Structures are given as structure tokens and as C-alpha cells.
Amino acid sequence: MRLSASKRLYAVAMLVLACCACLSMANPVWAAGPAGKSAAGRAIVWRFDRLDKIGGLSPEVLGHPRVIETPYGKATDFNGVDDALMIPEHPLAGASDYTWEVIFRPDGGAFAQRFFHLQEQDPTTHLDTGNRMLFEIRVVNGQWCLDSFASSGENHRTLLNCHLLHPLGKWYVVTAVYDGRTLRNYVDGQLQGEGSLDLKPQLPGRSSVGMRVNHKFFFKGAILTARMTPRALPPGEFLKLPSKNK
């Protein structure tokens, strides 16, 4: 029986994901730890305390992002004009449900900004597909609101609630949770929005930090840490701001 081109492509992609899962169990470098990949069901942590390695990966550095000292440790600061990092991995590829958390400090800048973008790629052409996940902000009257987006084929969901505004220049934990049926987003554990979504597991790809993956909508502010967990966590297990350095 002949398979259609789309079914053959899907079969190849699932084989790639299966091989990656086998490698993660066989290679201790992929074990959960301070940074890098994790075993199935455990978190991947990226710390932005250096520019040459993020989670064990070598990013492409665009512009001149700076590593700065903050009350919570070192973070990467982006100028909102041309600073960004391109990371050769989609850390939530293959996840049917997930929790994505980022500790960041928005500092103003343009009205619409994309500060973290996870992008699926076609395994044959290596081109970006339409399937992606994003964290965004909108700057409104000297404050900001959270925008989260996820798409899968014709299905997509935007969570944007600018009735809930937050002061600029402070550190926050933003979280997106998908439980297989509903996408929700939070600021410091407080629900900002929710909506139903049929999101299929995404294929491997790449990520951009500080901008949209197509080099638009640059972010002005700093990013400390990101944690990507391939399961839906309850709010009681969300990241919290770390203790301040003395």
C-alpha cells in the first residue's frame, strides 16, 4: 500500500523524534541538570548567564546582547533594536502537553515585542513551518501585558489580555501551560487568559530569544532563565523568582 507524501513525511518525523528519545535515555549529557536536555517528562532549563552556551547549545548571537548582573544572578540584556539569540533547538518538540516558563524583565520599547519563539521546521527541507509557540508582550501606557500564542496546522490560539497590565522594569515569571485541551498563560502564577486548542506535537526546529524567528519585533529587556517541561504543571509547581543575591 502506498502512503501519501504527507503521511510519509509524518512517519519520517516521528522516527526522528523516537531516535531522539532513545538518545536522551542513553546519553547522560541529556539528563536533567543545571542546563540542557532532559529525560522524557523532565524539564529542560536554559540559563542566560553567558552568550557562548545556552543549555549546552551554541547560539548564534545577533547584535550585541550583554550579560549583566541582576539581583537574581547573571542575565542577558537585549536592546530592543537588533539584539537576539538563535538557538538550534525546539525544546518542546514532541510534547503533547507542556509548561513553558520564563523569568524576564521587560523594560519598555516598541508596542509589540516577541521575546521567545519556538519554531517547528520541516524535517526534509529544514524550512520553518507554520507551527510555532511564542511569548510576546504589548507595551501600553508605560506598562505591559502578556501575549501567548501557539499554532498547529489550521488550529491556533492567541491569549492577549491588556486589561491586566503590569509595571515595566521589574522581574516576572511568565508561564504558558497546555494540558492537551486548553492553553493558559500566567504572570507570577496569576491567570491572564485561557482558551481551547487542538495542538499536535510539534516537530524539531529552532528557537529565537529577543525577537521573532524572522528577525522582527525585537524585545527590550532582560531574560534570566527559561524552563520547558513536557507536561502540564499545576500553578503550585511553577517557577518562582529565586532569592536575591546578597
**Confidence at 244, pLDDT banded by 50, 70, 90:** confident
Residue 245 lies in a domain: no
Contact, 93 vs 202, CB < 8 A?
A: yes
Q: Is residue 115 assigned to a domain?
A: yes
Greatest CA separation for the chain? 67
pLDDT of residue 114: 98
How confident is the prediction for the chain on average, in pLDDT? Answer: 88
Asked if residue 183 belongs to a domain, the reply is yes
Q: What are phi and psi of 136, to 5 degrees?
A: -140, 165
DSSP conformation letters of 219-244: -EEEEEEEEEESSPPPGGGS--PPPP
**What's the whole-model pTM score?**
0.85
Residue 84 within a domain: yes
Residue 90: which domain range?
Answer: 5-237
Binned at pLDDT 50, 70 and 90, residue 246 comes out as low
Could you tell me if residue 246 is inside a domain? Answer: no
Strand residue runs (E) in the chain: 44-47, 60-62, 66-70, 73-79, 84-87, 98-106, 112-121, 128-140, 143-152, 155-160, 166-167, 172-178, 182-187, 190-196, 205-209, 220-229
Please report which confidence band the pLDDT of residue 3 belongs to, taking 50, 70 and 90 as the band edges.
Answer: very low
95 is a domain residue: yes
Mean pLDDT value across residues 76-94? 98
User: 95-129, pLDDT tens digit by residue?
Assistant: 999 999 999 999 999 999 999 999 999 999 999 99
Q: Write the CATH number for 155.
A: 2.60.120.200
Does residue 243 lie in a domain region?
Answer: no
Is 196 a member of any domain? yes
- Number of structural domains (the chain) is 1
